[in-house]
Structure 1
Amino acid sequence: MKKTQNVTIKGTKDGITLHLDDSCSYQELKRELDQKLSANSRLNEGQPLISVKVQMGNRYLTEEQHEEIKDLIRRKKNLVVEEIVTNVITIDEAQRLKEESEIVSVSRIIRSGQVLEVPGDLLLVGDVNPGGTVKAGGNIFIMGTLKGIAHAGCYGDEQAVISAAVMKPSQLRISELINRAPDLSLDNEGKVLECAYIDDNRQIVVDRIQVLMQLRPNLTRLEGGR
């Protein structure tokens, strides 16, 4: 019977990808990886640095094992680890992803000096007074007046949006972009919901909320609580 390979090396236009079997023992995997990389390294002597991407499949790696794999690859000539990818995440990581995808509904007034922050989307039924701040890892929806600071996508999501019934912020932030925006409101006195988003020129602009259906179609995940 032909022995199954635990390590498969595939060349790509960006370097090489290592596909590592997720059913064999970790020690067996390391031995075969070391042998194959050693042989491959001799063939590549004198060649420029080669980028390596590692696919672990359904194998979970501890931090120590993660560093061991990276160190084993780095010891070979010409090889530079780009990333190690696994399909398995920890319970803490799964919980964090769940929180970041959830909508947190809050009914209160955010007064001067107060900060409300949530990991996912924020639905605020109330006002944000001058000096108050709301922050969200995702989108911010305010069923009231925004006169303070709103920071959406605070973990780096540039697709995040800010919406308010009355948009008169002292400052708008989306991801790393900032706009004090005292004159951006459409001045519709609450007749039309407004939203702020990053446009193609990487500027924060304010428009009627209806534009989001075309600009951010993924917002439909809110329907039915999904």
Structure 2
Amino acid sequence: MKEPVVIKANNFGILIILDKDLGFDSLLEAVGNKFKESANFFGNADMAVAFDGRKLTFEEEEQIIQAIIDNSSLNVVCTVDHDPIREAQFKAKLDQIAVSKDMSLAKIHKGNFRSGKMMEFDTGVIIIGDINPGAKVSSKGSIIVLGSLKGEVAAGIDGNNDAFIIALDMNPIQLRIGASIGRCSDDSETYSKAKDLEPKVAFVENNTICIENLDKNALDSLRL
């Protein structure tokens, strides 16, 4: 007997093949039963989903996704249309979502970074402590330093020029945001050392790293 619902999975998503002749209410029940049986196998992973076998209206697609959620621990993060290179599309969609959730998933690190210490974060990071000369911190997202920044930091290392760097005391050896780099020896138009103790924010504007006092106007201009 032909299965009304067939699930095929790859590393980044799930292809659900649906019987084109079965009534929708019966199909919806079959989807729920199928994912209830497979709940332990999939766990609570983030997955993209694609449908094949029959055309679905937006409302039908939403009902099927809800049936999946109700009968498993999967987090359906997006749906992808049928395509021969679907696996690559799944990965691209999930990568976009990871970037958009960057600061909501920011990690917190407590402690000082002493000379010679290097650390890279795959999200944004909030550092409670100092980054001393000779230390280096890199992040795919933005970096917030609740302390003195006197070493090297690189934000948006995967090419994210919208990343920013905030420090309570900003006097770094080098800053990098996306593809832009500023050093303490550069001229004042490109980069300037902060000699006071006012909180500062560094961001990219016209391919140049700019540093301003951290006030409401500066915060409003940041792209999260």
**TM-score for the superposition, normalised by structure 1:** 0.54
181, 200, 212: which one aligns with 1:207: 212
* Aligned-partner SS, 1:160: coil
Structure 2 residue 117 is the aligned partner of structure 1 residue 114: yes
CA contact (8 A) 2:52 2:82 kept: no
Corresponding residue for 1:127?
Answer: 130
Deviation at 1:213, TM superposition (A): 2.4
C-alpha deviation, 1:94, in angstroms: 8.9
Aligned residue in 2 for 1:28: none
Deviations 1:190-222 (A, max 9, x none): 2x21011111x2111111112432311x44xxx
Return the match for 1:185 from 179, 182, 193: 193
Any idea what SS the aligned residue of 2:218 has?
Answer: helix
The equivalent of 1:139 in structure 2 is 142
After superposition, the C-alpha distances for 1:163-184 in whole angstroms (9 at most, x for unaligned) are: 1111110100001111113571
2:201 match: secondary structure: strand
Q: CA deviation at 1:186?
A: 3.5
Deviation at 1:118, TM superposition (A): 1.0
Maintained 8 Å contact 2:212/2:218: no
AA aligned to 2:178 is: S
Q: What amino acid is the match of 2:203? A: Y
Q: Which residue of 2 aligns with 1:197?
A: 203
Which is further off, 144-153 or 176-185?
176-185
- Mapping for residues 40-79 of structure 1, pairs under 5 Å: 58-59=80-81, 65-66=84-85
What is the SS of the residue equivalent to 1:127?
coil
> CA 1:60 to 1:170, structure 2 compared with 1: closer, same or farther past 3 Å?
farther
Write the distance in 2 (CA, Å) between the matches of 1:214 and 1:129. 29
What TM-score comes out, normalization by structure 2 length? 0.55
Q: Which runs of 4+ in 1 moved over 6 A?
A: none
Query: Structure 2, unaligned stretches of length 5 or more?
Result: 1-19, 21-49, 55-78, 186-190
SS in 2 for 1:113: coil
Percent identity, please: 23
In structure 1, stretches of 5+ residues that fail to align are 5-20, 26-56, 70-83, 220-226
Q: How far apart, in 2, do the equivalents of 1:90 and 1:205 lie?
A: 31
CA–CA separation in structure 2 for the residues paired with 1:160 and 1:92: 19
Distance 1:89 1:125, change over 3 A: same
- Equivalent pairs counted in the alignment come to 145
Residue in structure 1 matched with residue 164 of structure 2 by the alignment: 161
Q: 1:85 to 1:205 in 2, by over 3 A?
A: same
**Shift in Å, 1:85:** 8.4
CA distance in 2, matches of 1:149, 1:111: 11
Check if 1:103 corresponds to 2:106.
yes
Is the alpha carbon distance of 1:137 and 1:148 closer, same or farther for their aligned partners in structure 2, counting shifts above 3 Å? same
Give the C-alpha shift of residue 95 in structure 1.
9.0
Contact preservation (8 Å) 1:186, 1:207: no
What is the CA-CA distance between 1:23 and the residue it aligns to?
2.9
Contact 1:99 1:119 (C-alpha < 8 Å) held by counterparts: no
* Deviation string, structure 1 residues 39-93 (Cα, Å, up to 9, x no partner): xxxxxxxxxxxxxxxxxx63576xxx42xx9xxxxxxxxxxxxxx985x559985
RMSD: 3.4
What letter corresponds to residue 221 of structure 2 in structure 1? L
